[in-house]
Amino acid sequence: MPGHGARQADTVTPRPDAATAPRRIVVGVSGATGIVYATRLLEVLRQAGTETHLVVTPAAGMTRACETDMSAEDLRALADVSYPIGDLTAPISSGSFRTMGMIVAPCSMRSLAEIAYGMTSNLLTRAADVTLKERRRLVLMARETPLSMTHLRAMIAVTESGGAEQEECIRDPASGQPQSRRNVGAPTSYGSRAARILRQEGFRAASSSLRGWEESASD
């Protein structure tokens, strides 16, 4: 029992029905460096037998072309379902479409700001907004250094809106260099980080078969 004058937490506790939700996760990719995190995440989810719904911003498409030799079709093929960024009638734009939650990897500061303040101008930020209002797990792999006070306030706003988790993507030592699509599924530190995200509360049902990703990789 909290003592007299103790301040209660401001964050919203996720709903306890994550274990009964379909094994289905929304994956958003926005225009920050580190698109390899998205490709590894999609491969890890496929290995885990989890249905993935993908939405990619135009800026993410430019990053994909700079950082990998994958085509847009190659990236979409890693997901079970993919949607155009402007399709606000897509199932993932509605709370009645049940999912375990959403991961944005990587998450640009623009996407972070839209999610933080409810400015849903595209399907990615709309799907994230739905995830928050339905109190499902939302993970934003924010990619920016150094962080300004504006960035930090946006992160706090998202967390207070629904207990979202933000993780700053570690900079790829080969950033800007093409990543071969032949190596997309290899257990590297990227796959290890994706596996750890899925072991969080709300995503654990999707991680039961993820053997070897964490053990075989070093950060």
**In this structure, what token pair is assigned to residue 13?**
């506790």
pLDDT tens-place string over residues 140-184: 998 877 889 999 999 999 989 875 655 554 455 444 444 444 444
- Reported confidence tier of residue 5, pLDDT bands at 50, 70, 90: very low
Q: What is the pLDDT of residue 167?
A: 58
With pLDDT > 70 as the criterion, what percentage of the chain qualifies? 68
Superfamily of domain 18-206: Flavin prenyltransferase-like (3.40.50.1950)
Residue pair 47/212 in contact (Cβ under 8 Å)? The answer is no
How far is residue 201's CA from residue 23's CA, in Å, rounded to a whole number? Answer: 14
pLDDT tens-place string over residues 53-75: 999 999 999 999 999 999 999 99
Helix (H, G, I), strand (E, B) or coil at 45: helix
Residue pair 107/167 in contact (Cβ under 8 Å)? The answer is no
- Reported confidence tier of residue 111, pLDDT bands at 50, 70, 90: very high
Domains of the chain by residue range: 18-206
Helix (H, G, I), strand (E, B) or coil at 128: helix
Longest Cα–Cα distance in the chain: 60
